Amino acid sequence: MTIRYSKDHEWIRVEGDEGVVGITAYAAGQLGDVVFVELPEIGKQVRAGDEAAVVESVKAASEVYAPVSGEVVAVNDALEAAPQTVNESPTGDGWFIRIRLADKGELDALMDEAAYKKMIEG
């Protein structure tokens, strides 16, 4: 199982030609209590770095960027009723979207876990 990380604190878990995207535990902790999540429509085409979703904490709204290009094939509707899942399980039930990868080569531009850890520990 391959998990890659973006510098904007998204993770992507690669499953065949698709990838599941969420935000890291570090990012969820920085945001604080998530009170609302706005998800894209299924079928939306995104390019790496595009805004794919929005996460709202008590204090502010933050963008979630697509770490890779592709088509949004599923969204985590459960977050609409239970946005706090992003805090409770950022890398599990708190996923945001599933993307059909346009170019698996883009994954090479992302970080592995060791590199991401190094980045946040600065």
Binding site residues, other proteins, CB under 8 A: 32-33, 35-36, 38, 54, 56-61
Tell me how far apart the 2 most distant CA atoms of the chain are, in Å: 37
Q: Residue 95 in contact with residue 22, Cβ under 8 Å?
A: yes
C-beta closer to other proteins: residue 40 or 67: 40
User: Of 50, 54, 62, nearest to 99 (Cα)?
Assistant: 50
Q: For the chain, report the end-to-end CA distance as a whole number of angstroms.
A: 26
3-state secondary structure of 2: strand
The H-assigned helical ranges of the chain are 25-31, 78-81, 85-88, 113-121
The token pair at 4 is: 């890659």
Query: Shortest gap between Cβ of 80 and other proteins (angstroms)?
Result: 8
Query: Shortest gap between Cβ of 72 and other proteins (angstroms)?
Result: 17
C-beta closer to other proteins: residue 3 or 54: 54
C-beta closer to other proteins: residue 53 or 110: 53
C-beta closer to other proteins: residue 17 or 63: 63
Query: Shortest gap between Cβ of 116 and other proteins (angstroms)?
Result: 21
Query: Shortest gap between Cβ of 5 and other proteins (angstroms)?
Result: 23
